[in-house]
Amino acid sequence: MFINISHKYKSKNFDKRKKKISFIIIHYTETKNLNEAINLLTSKTRRVSCHYIIDLDGSIYNLVDVDHRAWHAGESKWKRSEDINSRSIGIEIVNPGEISYKKYKKKQISSLVKLLIKLKKKFKIANNKILGHSDIAPLRKIDPGKHFPWKVLSENSLGIWVDEKISNLPLDKRQLNTLLKNLKRIGYPYIKDEKFTQNNKKIINSFHRHHLNKLVDKFPTQTSLNKSNDLLKKMFD
């Protein structure tokens, strides 16, 4: 599959990769346009970057060679894996983010799917390691946002997705404990106990943002627990 990737812009915000590539992390730029994003991702003072960025028209730009460690993930974890920057390829999609949210363009998602297929094959990336920034940093990040079309990715054998009917039945204490245990097994970091703490609320919200966007900022329901159970089955089948 041929993909047109431009090398027009380059960022010097990278260092030596210390681990084998095993993750792909998806972000939104939280900018109005490509120029704003490029200025941010090449800034010497901001010290952030990514490997690829996808513009509104679907154009793909390579800012940092994948052999290098781009600075896109920050403080993050997934299961026992730390230093996600060293283990991942970071992809930014031009989008203003949650505050002035606009839908992702079809051309952007089409280009993303093509790029993901190529990278997944080349680096043998497991589906459960194609994640959003908010998955690996749930206490501080919300991108690529609750409107990102994870289901479209799964329809192209990218990532993991299961459909669930939405239930309004809230979880009791025992079920909530089970949900948090499940999320920890799935990979969500920073779960230190099974109590409904502020941090655990953020982690559950991150799970909802990826898998049940209608429940973002809501108390977990039976659907949350069912979804976590089904994801675990799919991951370990």
Q: Which residues participate in catalysis according to the annotation?
A: 92
Which long-range contacts link 186-189 to residues 24+ away (Cβ below 8 Å)?
A: 186/128, 186/228, 186/231, 186/232, 186/235, 187/78, 187/79, 187/128, 187/135, 188/78, 188/135, 188/138, 189/76, 189/77, 189/78, 189/79, 189/136, 189/138
> How far is residue 136's CA from residue 203's CA, in Å, rounded to a whole number?
10
Contact 27, 50 (CB under 8 A): yes
Q: Which residues pair with 69 in a beta bridge?
A: 15
